[in-house]
Amino acid sequence: MIDFEMSTQIENARQMIHMMAEQTMRPIAREYDEREHADPTEWHEMMWSVAKGSEVTFGGKSEKKDKGPSERFLTSAVTIEELSWGDAGLYLSIPNPGLGGAAVAAAGTPEQRKRFLARFQEGKPKWAAMAITEPGCGSDPSLVRTTATRDGDQWVLNGEKIFVTTGCRADGVVVWATIDRAAGRAGIKSFLVLKGTPGFIVAHKEKKLGIRADDTAAYVFQDCRIPRDHLLGGDEDIPTESSGGFRGVMKTFNMTRPMVAAIGLGMAEAALDFTRDALRAAGVEVHYGPSLQGQPAAAERFIRLEALFEAARLATLRASWLADQGQTNNLEASIAKAKAGAAVRAITQGCIEILGPMAVSRDHLLEKWFRDVRITDIYEGTGEIQRLIIARTLLGYSRNELK
């Protein structure tokens, strides 16, 4: 018999985090949406103290030594969903090693994981980021043009990066650069660059449609010199998969894409909760039974949106569960990301259409969730790219055969 129930530990954690999100995030969500580049300092300090007192999930290979599957990624997905129900922008701004830490955990040597990840767990609140996208390189990271050139015991980086999540606050960033443009994807490596390194310039902050509580930055690297051992995975002469190469770091996304899906699901759930309460206040009751016939049109539409949410959520939980089992989840991670990215847009828009004028009023957060969810289908691989990955996997095509 298939059991879809969460474990007692996860359910208890979910309830606790939901309460915290309701009490600490919702009250300040509108304020930091309006004050886009302001720092919610008290929120950051509170979450930093919480993070330092618990096991941090980096999204890479688990350092856990005990035998048997864990619930690490499943717990993370549920946690992220609840925090994003509170506010996705504030969740994304929580001090943590982030996607940069996930890359270090996935592609770094044991010594690099120990040295670099410890840096982002000590002292004052810290963040880490990953810089992939460039002005001429978005959905296809193999087109990276930022260069890294060896000069003795240093690497010299030159190029531009845009749309770096948490890029202004980040104390360090994993930068994708090519050591050999002619080699294409095989020439791409990942380098850890610490804030304050000469030649590392934060060019500007982006003004965005949504997730405004978290910053997004553009970088410029001008003869930026970093130590040779900041190449993830070790020396460049080691095979690509072992030295911070394209394949090695792309594995990061198999773990983080379900978490991005969970961010969107949290916002979609918030929109459904608000709409359900608004319908009830207007005297429209949603009845669950064997048929949609006889329901008011608004209630019927709402049930269909709920079904869309549940389908996306189950796909996300499955991808997370597979990661906990130590099983390959590249297909399921892309399915979760693609399904959730489309579903959360449809759900928030559907809720606005059901409620009408009140839904777009800034007196409520629904219009904010509608803006915030747009990012779910964009970052860490657009929905179109996820569908290409799914098609290649199912049909057995290579990247060159289907693009």
| pLDDT for the residue 60 | 38
Q: Residue 248 — pLDDT band, cuts 50, 70, 90?
A: low
Structure tokens at 363: 């007196």
| pLDDT for the residue 58 | 36
| pLDDT for the residue 136 | 86
Query: Does 65 score more than 50 pLDDT?
Result: no
380 catalytically annotated: yes
> Which residues of the chain form CATH 1.10.540?
8-103
Comparing CA positions, the residue from 172, 158, 177 lying closest to residue 129 is 172
DSSP state at residue 191: E
Query: Does 284 score more than 90 pLDDT?
Result: yes
pLDDT digits (tens, 9 = 90+) for 24-49: 999 999 999 999 999 999 999 999 98
Q: Is the dihedral of CA 61, 65, 67, 71 positive or negative?
A: negative
| pLDDT for the residue 68 | 54
| pLDDT for the residue 245 | 64
* Element at 58 (helix H, strand E): none
- 34 C-beta neighbours (distance < 10 Å), count: 11
Give the CATH number of domain 8-103; options: 2.50.20, 3.40.50, 1.10.287, 1.10.540: 1.10.540
pLDDT digits (tens, 9 = 90+) for 307-362: 999 999 999 999 999 999 999 999 999 999 999 999 999 999 999 999 999 999 99
Strands 128-131 and 172-178: parallel
> Which residues of the chain form CATH 2.40.110.10?
126-241
Average pLDDT of the chain to the nearest whole number: 90
Query: Does 236 score more than 70 pLDDT?
Result: no
Residue at 254: amino acid letter: N
Comparing CA positions, the residue from 340, 323, 397, 334 lying closest to residue 374 is 340
Strands 128-131 and 147-151: unpaired
| Catalytically annotated residue among 81, 134, 367, 380 | 380
Query: Does 255 score more than 70 pLDDT?
Result: yes
| pLDDT for the residue 55 | 47
Name the CATH superfamily for 247-395.
Butyryl-CoA Dehydrogenase, subunit A, domain 3 (1.20.140.10)
Whether 283 and 83 have beta carbons less than 8 Å apart is answered as no
Query: Does 64 score more than 90 pLDDT?
Result: no
| pLDDT for the residue 122 | 80
CA distance 262 to 82: 9
* Percent with pLDDT over 90 in the chain: 75
> Which residues of the chain form CATH 1.20.140.10?
247-395
Domain 126-241 in CATH 2.40.110.10? The answer is yes
Query: Does 85 score more than 90 pLDDT?
Result: yes
DSSP state at residue 124: S
Structure tokens at 41: 């300092």
